Structure 1
Amino acid sequence: MVVSIPIKKTIVALASQTLALVFLPGIASAASFRPEEATVGSIESALGSGTSCTSITQAYLNRIQAYDDQGPALNAIISINPNALAIAADLDARYAQSGPVGSLHCVPIILKDNYETFDMPTTAGALALEGYETGQDAFQVARLRESGGLILAKSNLSEFAFSFTTVSSLGGTTLNPYDLARNAGGSSGGTGAAIAANFGVIGMGTDTGGSIRVPSSFNSLVGIRPTIGLSSRDGIIPLALTQDVGGPMTRSVADAAIALEITAGFDPNDSVTDNEKAPVKYTDFLNPNGLQGARIGVVRDLFGLDSNPESIKTTTVINSAIDAIKALGAKVVEVTIPNLAQILEFPSLSNFEFKRDLNTFLAERPVPPSGVTSLGDIIDSGLYLKDFEASYIARNNRMPPELDPEYLKIITERPTLTQTSLLAALEGLDALIYPSVASPPNIFNQPLASGAANRLSPFSGFPAITVPAGFTEDDLPVGLEFLGRAYDEATLIKLAYSFEQGTLFRRPPASTPPLESKAVPEPRTLAALSLFGFIATGLKRKQRQKVGNNC
């Protein structure tokens, strides 16, 4: 079931052995730093107390090496940044000279492998895009780097973000660290499993119909699907741009708020972003008493069926979470969403838009090593997950969406109906709540009762955040989703943070415990070699950008 990727181990060894260099001997590693359940704040504290970025980075590389290829072999990571330790050494030098680069200084970040990165391949999990280096960063990735974030690795995904199970021709199948026989969710399941297993602090996923919120729920994480238009999608391999967004997946609401704050903003390369929207400091809304006096609507129609034993497990957890919300001071009422059945009859637009949007993305970039330049080329190459073959062919055979009467009817009617209905349900309320997924993570090759709640946010463009709601009787994670009005992420963060802090349901998976103390790279006097590696990376970036600009 799991595809072996020997090159991944080679890259880990290269990063751990060849690039294990500290830029300045004066910055020593501190053995007291533990990566398990670390946060942006604890990374900042560790740096302030003398821990080097190099040793922090090595600690995460150690965990990836121990648990992604060995141990439980989660298969969450497709590739590791071969320059990770050289970048960490540079961050150490800059910290010593002038303090942190930004609020994410040395914070290790895991990117779903449909985000472009100038220094690593971007593959969408497909063999057809193996080794595909576009020479540029996605908008959100550039924002993360500018804030000092360290792009540590790219994670596996459902190939081209197609499904709620993370399996791809390049990355194989990702396992759920809470139960290795179960689904990590999709399509951002590699990011979900990696962050749950403490391979990084911030993960970035994408969500077209649930692909941030489903794996976040399945891995006891916080996941934010932002308002369409809040964050740029430029540089993300598209599935359906009408519904696509990128957003954070983290172990805490605070870290998700920090990541969202950094990645939100206007981008002239993404026409749905709005330059008139003032930036919001989401961290100002981390109020532990945020549920006091709040009014919350429970949407029972989005719960799983009572006839499904798996859904009953989830409903039991969610009912306990609702009791906790009440105890934390919120007024909870049950609400009905007008026209819900009609809304849920609409299909996702990935069937209509995938071919058009993928072909446009490929046409604007250098040709991949495989030579493919379109979905048709990918099908002809045979370099893809055979389970998706029928879906690829069907999408490739569709007429252009702008000529399709069914598509035109959907994009004309669906947004207005969904938004109007949700606003009616939200009248007098701060947010709606329901299970993020109608049942817990499914055992591989058994059906998943996902439910339909995942559709409301992408169909309306409104934001949603999932937060750990507890565990089932058989210790499987369950997520609670809060949905609010457009561009009202601040309110959702306030409510989710209060719930999180009042319950503290998140716990790490038993399959990836703390490692025994391992030696980290000692400070070397090989600063020149480290500097050379980092300068070479910078030159490589400039050369690739020049190539990209000529295409």
Structure 2
Amino acid sequence: MNFKFNCCLLIMSMIFLGCSDEKSIKEKEINIEELTISDIHKSYQDKTFNSEQLVKIYLERIENFDSTLNAITVINPQALKIAKELDKEYQRTGTLRPLHGIPLIVKDNINTEGLPTTAGSLALQNYIPEENAFIIEKLVEAGAIIIAKSNMAEWAFSPMHSESSTVGTTRNPYNTNYVPAGSSGGTGASIAANFGTIGLGTDTGNSIRGPSSHNALVGFRTTLGLVSRSAIVPLYLRNDVVGPMCRTVEDATKVLEVIADIDPKDPLTAYSEGKTPAGYTQFLKKDALNGSRIGVLRTLSDDSPHPEINQLFNNALLQLDSLGASVIDSVIVPDFQNLKQNQWCATFRKDVETFLSDYVKNDSLKTIEDIIEVGSKSDFARERLVRNTAHTGRWEDSEIPCLDAYTDIRRIAFREAIENMMDSLQLDAIVYPSWNNPPAPIDQFQEEYKGDNSQIISPHTGQPAFTVPMGFTNNNLPAGLQFLGRMYDEPILIGLTYSYEQGTKHRKSPDLK
């Protein structure tokens, strides 16, 4: 069941028939490009526009441009109603919640009440959750408005591209012949194209940071255990993280501030007890790089880099230096090549079948074999389903059990080697390109899949890694700079990435036509 077309018709008919009182400003006069949470809240306070008007314009933009990008899976038919209720609340109380009236786009593997959660698959195309995921409930309580859900690589299998059986293939808004990466490519493309203010992605190995890098966005992969993953269709739960994909560090930080919390339904979040600050926006400091020590991991950046990305990365190092950082070029992690090996574990069967049992509760859909029997329109997804059926445990032969980042001896050893090196050099963070290569052409996404650095460290060690825009190639394709920190060092990474972003201003909108 595909709600996208019908819901668009419903929403647009509501807009053109006039579902609200006469307004003092015409919606067409609202320029939503690059609007931030702060911009929007100031406009609400100044009565420049209200939430209902803003949502209408975002929906019109989706209607005008998503036929080109194919980033949205379903429009929320309640979005305007929710916006109107939030406007009335603000008129009554004079108080804005932290995300009051902020349009949110949610990846299609996160449970949202009353909207399909398909993970891009035919097997889940009729699954409509009756309750929100823990993090969605927190965002809604903070005042966010889910206006749409976004396309993804089916079952989150692909870091390369975002192709689903439900919607098809999403394109990069900066050049529609290229991929937006995966698996959160729909969120990446839609937030880059200003279809919403803030977005959510999930990241098993790359899937927040890759699409953020390919779409000139900020993407936060946070410490494993900082943010709940309950009621989210998993890939490998031992690695899965959910987090913000936004146009600015400030907006991503405001989203993180809402969703970081302990969830009894996600035992990993218990590790966060006593390790988080009372809010994250306090760390948004423009001078955070001044006096910092940044290590350059050439082990990653020198691995067959594309010349233009290499030049952008070297320029970024000069920019870090000019903003007051001491750049240590380069740093060596002892035994790095050995430690990074044999980290991946195939837990898809166990994790997905648990999700089906806990949330979907469909007697005809209990196993991966049931999913395979339903079928897929994607050759890539079909092959990955079969592969995950045939294999469990570590992908490479090993007697070492697959455990979480806090108890798995190989993961701990990898993390300790990195953090011990950071301690010995008094580093605040390590940097490297999020990808060593530009986005690949859609029709060559497998042949040209090169340089994905996001897969190598943080999914296994559990460490936080943030990507921010570091510029564009000559053919206008974005590139990202990644900052890796110690466990629970989100406050430091927020400061460093914000300082770099504010000092460089690399982000620019795509030219949609």
Question: Matches of residues 133-532 of structure 1 in structure 2 within 5 Å?
Answer: 133-164=128-159, 165-274=161-270, 275-306=273-304, 311-333=306-328, 334-349=330-345, 352-367=346-361, 371-383=364-376, 385-399=378-392, 406=399, 408=401, 412-427=408-423, 428-446=426-444, 447-511=448-512
| Corresponding residue SS for 2:127 | coil
Query: How far 1:140 moved relative to its partner?
Result: 0.9
* Structure 1: unaligned runs, 5 residues or longer: 513-551
TM-score by length of 1: 0.86
Secondary structure of the corresponding residue to residue 443 of structure 2 = coil
Partner of 1:36: 33
CA–CA distance in 2 between the matches of 1:110 and 1:83?
14
Amino acid at match of 2:374: S
CA contact (8 A) 2:3 2:75 kept: no
| 1:21–1:86 contact (8 Å) kept in structure 2 | no
Q: 1:511 is aligned with what amino acid?
A: L
Q: Assess, with a 3 A threshold, how the Cα gap between structure 1 residues 20 and 424 changes in structure 2: closer, same or farther.
A: farther
Answering whether residue 127 of structure 2 is matched by residue 132 of structure 1, we say: yes
SS of residue paired to 2:371: helix
What letter matches 2:477 in structure 1?
A: L
Q: Per the alignment, do residues 93 and 280 of structure 1 end up closer, same or farther by CA in structure 2, a change over 3 Å counting?
A: same
Q: Percent identity?
A: 40
Distance 1:22 1:426, change over 3 A: farther
Q: Is the 8 A contact 2:2 2:125 kept in 1?
A: no
Deviations 1:252-296 (A, max 9, x none): 000011000111011111101133334442111111111100000
Distance (whole Å) between structure 1 residues aligned to residue 451 and residue 412 of structure 2:
25
Whether the aligned pair in 2 keeps the contact of 1:344 and 1:452 (CA below 8 Å) is no
AA partner of residue 470 (structure 2): A
Q: Deviations over 1:42-71 (max 9, x none)?
A: 1101211221211100000011000002xx
Change in 2 beyond 3 A, CA 1:423/1:21 = farther
- In structure 2, relative to structure 1, the CA distance for the partners of 1:407 and 1:107 (3 Å cut) is farther
How big is the shift at 1:83? 0.9
Output the amino acid matched with 1:130.
Answer: Q
Residue 241 of structure 1, CA deviation: 1.0
Query: 2: CA distance between counterparts of 1:134 and 1:410?
Result: 29
Give the whole-Å Cα distance in 1 for the aligned partners of 2:494 and 2:18: 38
* 1:217 and 1:436 in contact (8 A); partners too: yes
Q: Which amino acid aligns with 1:372?
A: L
Matches within 5 A, 1:11-30: 11-18=7-14, 25=21, 28-29=24-25
Q: Which amino acid aligns with 2:480?
A: G
CA shift at 1:476, angstroms?
1.2
Equivalent residue, structure 2, for 1:122: 117
Distance in 1 of aligned mates of 2:415 and 2:303: 25
Distance 2:389 2:455 in 1: 26
Distance 1:400 1:278 in 2: 32
CA distance in 2, matches of 1:324, 1:503: 8
Are the aligned partners of 1:117 and 1:141 in contact in 2 as well (CA < 8 Å)? yes
Q: Which moved more, 1:479-488 or 1:445-454?
A: 445-454
Structure 1, 158-167 or 380-389: larger mean CA deviation: 380-389
Q: Report the Cα distance in structure 2 between the residues aligned to 1:409 and 1:98, rounded to whole angstroms.
A: 51
CA distance in 2 between partners of 1:254 and 1:228 (Å): 21
Task: For residues 111-139 of structure 1, give each alpha carbon's deviation from its aligned partner in whole angstroms, at most 9, with x where no partner exists.
Answer: 11011001211000111111211211111
State the one-letter code of the partner of 1:109.
L
State the distance in 2 between where 1:375 and 1:384 align.
16
Separation (CA, whole Å) in 1 of partners of 2:137 and 2:180? 27
C-alpha separation between the residues in 2 aligned to 1:377 and 1:6? 21
Taking the aligned partners of 1:374 and 1:63, their CA distance within structure 2 comes to 39
Distance in 1 separating the partners of 2:364 and 2:60:
35
Deviation at 1:21, TM superposition (A): 8.3
CA distance in 2, matches of 1:409, 1:86: 46
Instruction: Give the CA deviation at 1:444.
Output: 1.7
TM-score (ref. length: structure 2)? 0.92
How many pairs does the alignment contain?
498
- Is the 8 Å Cα contact of residues 143 and 263 (structure 1) preserved in structure 2? yes
Letter in 1 for 2:140: R
Moved more, 443-452 or 457-466: 443-452
- How far apart are the structure 2 equivalents of 1:397 and 1:193? 33
Deviation at residue 175 of structure 1 after TM alignment: 0.2
Question: Residue 433 of structure 1 aligns to a residue in which SS?
Answer: strand
C-alpha distance in structure 1 between counterparts of 2:92 and 2:105, whole Å? 27
The CA distance in 2 between the partners of 1:407 and 1:85, in whole Å, is: 52
Q: After TM superposition, give the deviation of residue 345 of structure 1 in Å.
A: 1.9
Q: C-alpha separation between the residues in 2 aligned to 1:23 and 1:47?
A: 19
Q: Is the 8 A contact 1:30 1:52 kept in 2?
A: no
State the one-letter code of the partner of 1:155: S
The secondary structure found in structure 1 opposite 2:294 is strand
User: Which letter maps to 2:511?
Assistant: A
* Pair 484,280 (structure 1): closer, same or farther in 2 beyond 3 Å: farther
Superposed displacement of residue 394, structure 1: 2.4
- Tell me by how many angstroms 1:9 deviates: 2.7
Question: 1:540 corresponds to which residue?
Answer: none
How far apart, in 1, do the equivalents of 2:30 and 2:86 lie? 17
CA distance in 2, matches of 1:507, 1:128: 38
> 2:403, 2:62 → 1: CA distance?
43
**Amino acid in structure 1 at the alignment position of 2:38:** G
Using the TM superposition, give the Cα deviation of residue 180 of structure 1 relative to its aligned residue in structure 2, in angstroms.
Answer: 0.7
Give the 3 Å change call, closer, same or farther, for CA 246–490 of structure 1 in structure 2. Answer: same
2: CA distance, partners of 1:20 / 1:96: 25
- Cα distance change of structure 1 residues 506 and 229 upon mapping to structure 2, 3 Å threshold: same
2:72–2:149 Cα contact (<8 Å) kept: yes
